[in-house]
Structure 1
Amino acid sequence: MPPNASPDLATSFLEQPLDNPLMNAAGVWCTLAAQLDALVESSAGALVTKSCTLSRRDGNAEPRYRALPLGSINSMGLPNEGYAYYLDYAACHDYERKPLFVSVSGLSLDDNLTIVAALREAVLPAFLELNLSCPNVEGKPQPGYDFEAMDQFLAEVATAYRRPFGVKLPPYFDFVHFDTAAEILNRYDNLAFITCINSIGNGLVIDTDSESTVIRPKDGFGGLGGDYVLPTALANVNAFYRRCPGKTIIGCGGVQTGAHVFQHLLAGATLVQVGTALHEEGPSIFDRLQHELRELMAKKGYSRIEEFRGRLKTL
């Protein structure tokens, strides 16, 4: 890299150029139009809507989110304005300025197919991110942990949508699960990207002083984010980067610093989503993360992300 030159963070996603690889994680700073507008005005390279259901949902009872010394625990329960709200927003979005992803998390296959059909008929340049991994809806299992159901789910959506789309996966913890999930994902040519990971589901945080859980829903069980999940997120990013060479990987989980962004990119991610840290710091975090990433790249002598992306070394 030439002396005094600033590293270039520009990248591309499915042939669409982005100023940088950073974006929010679905569920954070994206429920209402004003929050999405704040992401548009921020220095994030892209943005994604809150995971939407067929109808508006209030979500689980409060308190349902708690910041912790090493991250967060939440059991939000998919509070959202209903899919029509986000399709209306997507219809007015300036796609030349910044790519928009629409996250879909219907409570049944039929619900998802209804939403997917509406998004297809709208003929918008938005990217569909199908959430197979919400761990916090009471009484509803995660499709991503039922491989037979996931395969059927993807077969229906791939046929119905007929355009490139992606999935947001839960964390997997065993090589046989990486292998099985990847085999299923690789069956669908128009499944173009994989987001790894959603929160680690059903953790339990206990307050010693009060001898109580710290959130109300599900008897205190909730999804973990932040430092707690970074190693698991990086493992899933790299596992699917290796097993799904025809798919683009989006990293999500534990990003609080520019070094964490670098690690996700090194593991094979093309874009990197920010969740807990964005919730705590607000959209200005994208300025800090880019500054830290540029500093780290310059120190290492990298001028572009593609010089190191996916080139994780092993011992």
Structure 2
Amino acid sequence: MVDLSTKVAGLSLPNLLFNASGVCCQTEADLKLMIESESGSLITKSATYEYREGNPSPRYLPLPSGLGSINSMGLPNEGYEYYLNFAKNYDYSSKKPLFISLSGLSLADNVKMCEAFVAADLPCVLEVNFSCPNVPGKPQLGYDMEAMENALNVLAPLIKKPFGVKLPPYFDIAHFDTAAAIFNKFDNLVYVTCINSVGNGLAIDFETESALIKPKDGFGGLGGLMVLNTALANVNAFYRRLPTKQVIGVGGVTSGKEVFLHVLAGASAVQIGTTLKEEGPTVFARINKELTDIMIAKGYKSLDEFRGKVKTL
């Protein structure tokens, strides 16, 4: 009686849930777990041009009291050719669309990676990550509006097909306005994913008086329940400002309730990061059921009936 299906970038997803890039997506073994799960889609780890080991450990930790997590992974990945090969061999008849995340350390690297995927002419969807906060010495492109527009001026005509971008959290209304004005210039930029982790938090152990993670003197991206309200604000801000595009919501999902709130804020699909990391791929079956129960209780039969319809006072 309840339909959880959705469409993103013109592709049909059997349900709206999938992994946040960075979780359960680095290796083929990870991605196989996603394929076998009850997710509606899957996305690969953000790829750089070459293999990266990432930052030293410990570089990820859940935080106490269910607050969420802190990480400074540093883009560990197998290099773009690994994910290109995966995409070439992916079973696109499986009804789970494949999203490919690219996070070049320079515009030139992004161009080379996009060119390779364009040449392969695969039915996967590219997502360019403008928001990795944990590579030392590399600022987030999403906070440099001029550089981000310049990158899109180069990449959008190169990609040609519908694509998306992964965004950092914005905290100022003027930044929502400026970023949206840029995105609205590119017709084949059809969705934005927000948010990436809230960059450069610091978690300190009270007993040992030490930072909890090693890279960047303990500074890392915050995820999980504590970022829910920031994520909802970003989803809704871009839903309102990008009338011809879609928003994928990510941040703070621990149950069906938070997924419902993301859709209410305007999300067409919802990704899960920290909770997937902690619980494993069975999380999708649980949260799909919880969302179904919520929709039944509220009398909604499809996501379209309440998407973006958050009330204001």
TM bucket normalised to smaller: over 0.9
Q: Does 2:56 align with 1:61? A: yes
- 2:116 partner letter: A
Once the two structures are TM-superposed, the CA of residue 96 in structure 1 deviates from its matched residue by 2.1
Question: Paired residue for 1:22, among 14, 17, 37?
Answer: 17
Give the Cα separation in 2 of the matches to 1:14 and 1:199: 23
1:133-179 Cα offsets, whole Å, 9 max, x none, are 00000000000000000010111101211111110000000100000
Contact (CA 8 Å) 2:9, 2:163: kept in 1 or not?
A: no
Q: Does residue 159 of structure 1 match 2:154? A: no
How many correspondences in the alignment? 310
Contact 2:9 2:125 in 1 (8 A): no
User: Over residues 252-288 of structure 1, what are the superposed CA-to-partner deviations in whole Å (9 max), with x where a residue is unaligned?
Assistant: 1011110000000111000100000000000000000
SS of the aligned residue for 1:250 comes to strand
Q: Of residues 64, 84, 88 in structure 1, which corresponds to 2:85?
A: 88
Residue identity matched to 1:85: Y
The question of 1:246 aligning with 2:244 is answered yes
Q: 1:3 maps to which residue? A: none
The one-letter code matched in structure 1 to 2:48 is T
Pick one of 109, 121, 130 that aligns with 2:107: 109
* Match for residue 69 of structure 2 among 68, 72, 77: 72
- The whole-number CA distance in structure 1 between the counterparts of 2:3 and 2:97 is 19
Matched, 1:260 2:258: yes
Deviations 1:6-54 (A, max 9, x none): 4121222233221100000000000000110110010000000000000
Aligned pairs for 1:132-151 (under 5 A) are 132-151=130-149
Give the secondary structure class of the aligned counterpart of 1:195: strand
SS at match of 1:163: coil
Which residue is equivalent to 1:184? 182
Q: Residues 232-267 of structure 1: CA distance to partner in whole angstroms, max 9, x if unpaired?
A: 000000000000011111001011110000000111
Matches within 5 A, 1:228-307: 228-307=226-305
Alpha-carbon separation, structure 2, partners of 1:224 and 1:19: 30
Q: CA deviation at 1:199?
A: 0.2
Please tell me the residue identity of whatever aligns with 1:74: N
- Range with bigger deviation, 279-288 or 159-168: 159-168
Q: How far 1:120 moved relative to its partner?
A: 0.5
**How far apart, CA to CA, are the structure 2 residues paired with 1:191 and 1:286?**
28
Q: What is the identity, as a one-letter code, of the residue corresponding to 1:23?
A: F
Pick one of 204, 207, 221 that aligns with 1:206. 204
TM-score, structure 2 as length reference:
0.98
Q: Distance in 1 between matches of 2:93 and 2:222?
A: 34
Q: Paired residue for 1:223? A: 221
Superposed CA deviations along residues 202-250 of structure 1, whole A, max 9, x for unmatched, are: 0001101000000000000000000111000000000000000111110
159-168 or 229-238, which moves further after superposition?
A: 159-168
- Segments of structure 1 that go 5 or more residues without pairing to the other structure are 1-5
1:33 aligned to 2:52? no
